[in-house]
Chain A
């Protein structure tokens, strides 16, 4: 589905990506894991066309995404921090995004999360009065709304209350069952263990390894993912 080939990106003198190669397929939940400033977010932004790589290319369904916007119809994205125009009412935001979404599909919107998070009750409120957590819920709901094939979630549960996290995790499972590709970044290993099939471990702009969780556990002989990763990195 997505092939990332020799991707390089520099911000000034700082090298964010150093020739990273990765392949993601449908019917999979991949966790992007790595220390802070390792290039995870840059990678995601490259995938979404928000950052333009210096070198290398990204193929989406075999087609180079450079200069293309059509492939984004098949991607849902939940940013790390969702900020929206202050005076915009939440209901209006959803309406507007739906209008934009009509480019992608007819009227078949996935509003499960809107219902599950009880967002409709707050449709009359402007975005500026909402708490950070509520905004995250909005972002999550928007990411899933268009029934995309690929869903990218940047730190999805950070800032969400336990109940909301649980709802989101269940949603991730459900989409996984539906055969979609989900790419998630997270620092919480228990969460990764819960939702992901495989881990791409990224350090200093390169993929250190890209293995399934089962593989990692068996290689290290540890039962808990956190310890297994620690063990693996010690080698």
Chain B
């Protein structure tokens, strides 16, 4: 009897496989139920009509089609170039482009504004929004409505690409956003403000200010996007909690990703690479807490991760490859853990500006570690100090970076290995791994 109760208690321990399984079944059930209900409500409410916009016919502008449409209708737009300005979609319709029709905003204002729930925009080329210093002009602007779907569009030369304000639920997928690379006249590729439950996936964003920008955006999923050559951040979070981003590539942006004033963010399987510049980072963490960073690759960034005021963040199984500084952790970071990461070919593995350390490093692989493993347990017998003496000198004297890789610098680091007391930074990996962690 005792045995059985024990077993039961184990089974219902949170996180154990049976419980997870149960959980996922419940979820599936809920989802399928809601799909059935939704489908039913559609088929009951009305039979969807199709309206076609075609030049030479009676309905030769989108506005005419919109005037005729009712909720639930599908408007098909045939291949042509339509010169438009602030098209207001205030009915729950689907706007479908056939053969990529062009909506040209003539650099006046927004191109499309959506203010009704359940609107779909699919398959358009949207270009030339206006630019204003006072009001943000966008290719597609969505305001105060739910369940929007923006799919497979190409946005060119728009100030903001897709702009969501106070939107609850929606999908942004398969879009390509090409900004004008202008530092002054470009806004963000995908911009979310006070929005939640938005799925953003398979988009490609180039040449904007921020590739994706989140302000007060919660419970969102960002995955499989490419954010490249944006002049500020590839992805930017402000006050946006409980979001996940995974399998994205952030390449050659002013900085890769900035996560600021935020908590509960999961960052998994992303690639941060070639974010170069005098104040450039793969990932900038500023005042964030209780987040999880795992299985990411940080390659060829000026700083892989830059951490400021970061607490209780777990950094696990990431690869830091060929960065200038793999991790820069300012002294105001606490209770962060680094486990099982690989540090390969970085000029500096770790730098910090303080001497006291309240963080925890264990079981990482450091290619600069030269200790030995007598008991053959795969862990180095001596702790590894990732903050080299020479990097501590640079901290005090930035121009000493000039002597990087000189004989003097090498001697300093060798001296530190022989006499660890020379180093004043109290940060070390207690069990450095002898082998690359795979």
Taking the complex as a whole, does A directly touch B, i.e. does some CB pair lie under 8 Å apart?
A: no
Could you list which residues of chain A lie within 8 angstroms of chain B, going by C-beta atoms?
Answer: none
